[in-house]
Structure 1
């Protein structure tokens, strides 16, 4: 038998050695095969590389076609020259796109910031906007370096959806005016209120009606073009709308406003000392924080959404935040628009089959070449068409279908979402987001403070039992239950808080004050408080034996007690977790159980005796807390009373 084992070990050793040799030889064979295959292998690799490069270039062209009208449209909606939008698109491609933060997400000027940019430009001017964008970018870099990129994920989805809806709704109404070749009145409320007058103008002005129809056709195409079958449906809807608009604008008798694009390089304006001096104004500093938070949140929310669209490398949030900061820093230095990640361009990049950062980087190069070499083509684009593209973007940001969906899923979150949107529309983006966050935190706090409070009376005892999380938010219910127990007129009150998982200072203080007050009035109050694993010293050793009891005030030594039936064992602990320390009970060393008491002369069941024996052998737990505040001697007639609990 021993020899068989030895032979088995020998064969196993040989097998292992053979396997090891095979593993060692495999790379060598692979290397020889690679050498012998020579040109064939190289040709295959080259074909694969060429195919991948062609896919990346094709995807970059698709992204370019989607980005071009959006860059120009966002600039127009922001109240700045169109070339600034193109510059931001170039920076989003060549600078942000080259950094290894996210693989497929595309950055550029975003429709979500258009309303905020327009408000900032109207209040401070384009030059000060550049300083705000510059310092927002620097702050983004700092946040990324200290690894706070994922912090922006710790925001309620209801607040995020409310923020997007609050951006989308004003964007839609503000673009209704450029869609009719008119000027928007100003604030979102004013834009909404001015729609009837705008409608009357459209109906009486032929050219305004033509422009509005172009915008309306653009909106319809944006919704239905994706359903067009075949290769034609893969062409971006915005590009189709722009081409159609250019054709209509060139027809005789049509006089709609078209895009006027100046020299791209001449549009670069570095902010000076006067603009940097504006940082001393609190409103400008507030704008820096606002742009930082919103641009970062939008970029990282987009990153999370884009990661769900593909199975490639996941986003490195801190690195992506640094990349966005670098893009905004450069955008601020040249006086361009702020840069964020954009869902429309990113999804187009994924759907076009891109796998690497090359496609999003090249799209910036195509934007730069087009603006420098073919600016006259941009002058053919009707402004109403670009406004129609942005109305469609605003509708997607608003996402009306999310409201009934949120209502069905969670009405509390629905309230937070709606409140965030309404406050943004009525005031500004920062105020709306802050109020939304506060509402979300309050909702979470209320839901975490789920306290079950039951007040009832049994015999001569009024009982209050609490479970769950007792925080100051539930203090009114706690006070109501305590007052009801006091008003019951019972000579005894029992407060059982052992089921409470969290008891904050406010609730604890209220319970203890109530206990002291009632004892001062002569009411016996038994208070069982929550605590960690109980100290087992002085519990099991003083557990009652069958028929034995303890007289009030007599300390029990291990295994001893008073004569049968002479006292109560109601306070003797027989289970771990709750009880008093030695000397705090009426038996001078007896412990207390939460909800387990035995009257004198009642035999202890075998399972309790076994538990007591196990506890007597256990070692104490350091730092344990036992709470029992009623240390008065037991009344003489208590032996005949029923147990408090069973």
Structure 2
């Protein structure tokens, strides 16, 4: 009889338990995210669950981050909804295929670490904007209503504006009141469980408890609410794009959509992988390019089956780590449990009220808006806070891609400012015939005229002390000017002193300097 080695046997027990926890977390979220992404209601449950299955069975074994769990993510809902609205659900497959191929190529070129260079302020601003949009749209769904901004320009702002009307409908109109009660019950259970659950029971997913309670209440009291429509065979919703669907590849907008999807999904996945590394001490550290290839393979398959794109998801990943997962087997098993559930118990899904899933996303959307992060950023770095605010406003006011581009624009403007800003302060002591020069910033060729003009204001015959401690960079043009000026200054009877070590560190090599430099 084959026996497992003791460490492997111990990890198997941990992984099996963690996989069940992640499965229970992923089940309601996968369906809710599909609905929020604008997938046709009759296909939403199938599409969301198939993506989750691929995230477990395909991405899990290939992943460069052993404990990261992939699947449909709230962070992609706004982008996917915009794609479906503009190009149609049938074109989603080709878009996701393009995104997956871009991720694979980027991984093969070992560009994984590059995606980690995205500013955290931009990512948090993007997620906060997505959170507001999810909250605004799903609040209307939570009362069995249609978001009024659907298919309209500035739809997110419109959905926000009419939230008060949704509240009024939920309170006063009999057709909307049952769904509103189901939504409130779900949010109350999720909030209370997250805040008051005993430590020993915190691994029980709050979202699952909320959905179970809402489903039981709707069935017990025979409430007239919309339920999740479930086809006879859930996996039938997954199909390869037809030749007519592939005609969309002639549209340059479809390629741009695929590229933008690859960028956002990759950034979110690799940031989640970094977070997973900080949470766990058992598995190996993330291989970022390998993770990018794994995500690309998963999205290529999702595109071929015309289902939602996937990415690393922080909620499922943190649940996996906190449940004690040791290896990538936990991620694989969660996909296996999902597949078994879809094959054996699909009709249970048809009992779930849509309002309960919408309530889960209302709660999730609110949690994505991290006010404390924004406050702390404002205290620490005003420019990064502006990056956060501009990205957030762009996502809410326009669309996800516009918000990201605006945030990148502000980040690049800051970078240009940092490498072109040079302030120079000169303090003269007329009696001692000494001048102290304090350059602050980056001495590049762009600021060479200012640097030269400041040095030329030092009278001949003075002692000049050039303090380089606040100089962050000096290029060859400014260094050459400084050396030439120093020679002329000393030839005229002056004495120059500057810090040799700082100059060598800034220029990263030994440089020739005036004879009296120290």
TM-score normalised by L of structure 1 = 0.69
Map residues 402-421 of structure 1 onto 2, 5 A cutoff.
402-421=373-392
Q: Aligned in 2, Cα 1:206/1:476: closer, same or farther, shift over 3 Å?
A: farther
Q: 1:287 aligns with which of 238, 254, 257?
A: 257
CA displacement, residues 271-315 of structure 1 (integer Å, 9 cap, x when unaligned): 123322222222212101110000000100000011111102111
Asked if the contact 1:470–1:503 (Cα under 8 Å) also holds between the matched residues in 2, the reply is: yes
Map residues 465-476 of structure 1 onto 2, 5 A cutoff.
465-468=437-440, 469-471=442-444
**2:187 alignment partner in structure 1:** 219
**2:139 alignment partner in structure 1:** 176
Q: Aligned in 2, Cα 1:476/1:62: closer, same or farther, shift over 3 Å?
A: farther
Asked if the contact 1:495–1:528 (Cα under 8 Å) also holds between the matched residues in 2, the reply is: no
| SS at structure 2 position matched to 1:95 | helix
Distance in 2 (CA, whole Å) between partners of 1:279 and 1:479 is 55
**2:400 alignment partner in structure 1:** 429
Q: Aligned in 2, Cα 1:471/1:192: closer, same or farther, shift over 3 Å?
A: farther
Q: 2:93 aligns with which of 97, 119, 130?
A: 130
Query: Structure 1 or 2: larger helix share?
Result: 2
Alpha-carbon distance, 1:233 to partner: 3.6
**1:265 alignment partner in structure 2:** 235
Map residues 79-118 of structure 1 onto 2, 5 A cutoff.
79-80=38-39, 81=43, 82-118=45-81
| SS at structure 2 position matched to 1:530 | helix
Alpha-carbon distance, 1:450 to partner: 5.7
Asked if the contact 1:462–1:492 (Cα under 8 Å) also holds between the matched residues in 2, the reply is: no
Distance in 2 (CA, whole Å) between partners of 1:51 and 1:466 is 62
Alpha-carbon distance, 1:146 to partner: 0.5
Asked if the contact 1:133–1:338 (Cα under 8 Å) also holds between the matched residues in 2, the reply is: yes
**2:18 alignment partner in structure 1:** 59
Map residues 245-644 of structure 1 onto 2, 5 A cutoff.
245-262=214-231, 263-312=233-282, 313-447=284-418, 451-455=422-426, 465-468=437-440, 469-471=442-444, 499=468, 502-503=473-474, 529-531=481-483, 578-579=486-487, 585=491, 593-594=495-496, 624=512
Alpha-carbon distance, 1:384 to partner: 0.9
Asked if the contact 2:66–2:328 (Cα under 8 Å) also holds between the matched residues in 1, the reply is: yes
| SS at structure 2 position matched to 1:261 | coil
**2:501 alignment partner in structure 1:** none
Q: 1:143 aligns with which of 103, 106, 120?
A: 106
Alpha-carbon distance, 1:402 to partner: 1.2
Q: Aligned in 2, Cα 1:595/1:230: closer, same or farther, shift over 3 Å?
A: closer
Alpha-carbon distance, 1:501 to partner: 6.2
- The reply to whether residue 71 of structure 1 matches residue 30 of structure 2 is yes
Q: Aligned in 2, Cα 1:233/1:504: closer, same or farther, shift over 3 Å?
A: closer
Asked if the contact 1:498–1:529 (Cα under 8 Å) also holds between the matched residues in 2, the reply is: no
Distance in 1 (CA, whole Å) between partners of 2:20 and 2:467 is 66
Alpha-carbon distance, 1:403 to partner: 1.4
CA displacement, residues 475-524 of structure 1 (integer Å, 9 cap, x when unaligned): 897699699x69xxx9999998784664569x96xxxxxxxxxxxxxxxx
TM-score normalised by L of structure 2 = 0.85
Alpha-carbon distance, 1:216 to partner: 2.4
Alpha-carbon distance, 1:147 to partner: 0.3
Q: 1:208 aligns with which of 162, 165, 176?
A: 176
Pair member with larger Rg: 1
Alpha-carbon distance, 1:229 to partner: 1.4
Asked if the contact 2:462–2:495 (Cα under 8 Å) also holds between the matched residues in 1, the reply is: no
Q: 1:238 aligns with which of 195, 207, 214?
A: 207
Gaps in structure 1 of 5+ consecutive residues: 1-38, 509-526, 535-570, 572-577, 597-620, 628-646
Asked if the contact 2:136–2:160 (Cα under 8 Å) also holds between the matched residues in 1, the reply is: yes
Distance in 1 (CA, whole Å) between partners of 2:514 and 2:70 is 59
Distance in 2 (CA, whole Å) between partners of 1:503 and 1:357 is 47
Q: Aligned in 2, Cα 1:479/1:168: closer, same or farther, shift over 3 Å?
A: farther
Asked if the contact 1:467–1:501 (Cα under 8 Å) also holds between the matched residues in 2, the reply is: no
- The reply to whether residue 192 of structure 1 matches residue 163 of structure 2 is no
Moved more, 456-465 or 183-192: 456-465
Taking only aligned residues, the RMSD between alpha carbons, in angstroms, comes to: 3.5
Asked if the contact 1:497–1:528 (Cα under 8 Å) also holds between the matched residues in 2, the reply is: no
| SS at structure 2 position matched to 1:271 | coil
Alpha-carbon distance, 1:198 to partner: 1.7
Q: Whose RCO is larger (CA < 8 A, sep 6+)?
A: 2
Asked if the contact 1:90–1:368 (Cα under 8 Å) also holds between the matched residues in 2, the reply is: yes
Alpha-carbon distance, 1:48 to partner: 5.9
Distance in 2 (CA, whole Å) between partners of 1:451 and 1:458 is 23
Distance in 2 (CA, whole Å) between partners of 1:593 and 1:528 is 18
Asked if the contact 1:129–1:335 (Cα under 8 Å) also holds between the matched residues in 2, the reply is: yes
Q: Aligned in 2, Cα 1:76/1:623: closer, same or farther, shift over 3 Å?
A: closer
Q: Aligned in 2, Cα 1:252/1:149: closer, same or farther, shift over 3 Å?
A: same
**1:566 alignment partner in structure 2:** none
Alpha-carbon distance, 1:206 to partner: 2.8
Distance in 1 (CA, whole Å) between partners of 2:448 and 2:342 is 65
Asked if the contact 1:158–1:417 (Cα under 8 Å) also holds between the matched residues in 2, the reply is: yes
Gaps in structure 2 of 5+ consecutive residues: 499-508
Asked if the contact 2:55–2:310 (Cα under 8 Å) also holds between the matched residues in 1, the reply is: yes
